[in-house]
């Protein structure tokens, strides 16, 4: 499973997105907004899931906001932190 596939699975399962499958999330889809109905509370859960599943902390919204835009930006953030 690739990093992006794992991220999608972690997000769908961690947020209990019952009407969404990991494959429904395209790599460049905005994670927050109308399409998936995610909000700031969900952002906190995504930050927690990233730390738990990938060992990467998002320390504040200055780095979190750009990282949480899409699967692509989140994967790039994780890869950069792991390097």
The domains of the chain, with CATH numbers, are 3-82 (1.10.1200.10)
Q: What is the pLDDT of residues 26-73, one digit of tens each?
A: 999 999 989 999 999 999 999 999 999 999 999 998 999 999 999 999
What does the DSSP 8-state code read for residue 28?
A: T
Sequence-distant contacts of 38-45: CB under 8 A, at least 24 apart: 42/15, 43/68, 45/14, 45/15
Alpha carbon distance 75, 23 (integer Å): 16
Question: pTM of this prediction?
Answer: 0.93
73: its two tokens: 């930006």
What was the pLDDT predicted at 83?
Answer: 86
Q: Counting beta carbons within 10 angstroms of the beta carbon of residue 7, is it exposed (0 to 12), middle (13 to 18) or buried (19 or more)?
A: buried
């Amino acid at each position: 499973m690739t990093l992006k596939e794992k991220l999608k699975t972690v997000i769908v399962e961690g947020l209990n997105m019952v009407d969404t499958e990991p494959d429904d999330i395209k790599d460049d889809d905005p994670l927050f907004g109308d399409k998936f109905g995610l909000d700031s509370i969900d952002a906190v859960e995504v930050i927690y899931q990233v730390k738990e599943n990938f060992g990467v902390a998002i320390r504040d919204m200055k780095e979190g906001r750009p990282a949480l835009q899409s699967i692509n930006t989140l994967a790039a953030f994780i890869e950069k932190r792991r390097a």
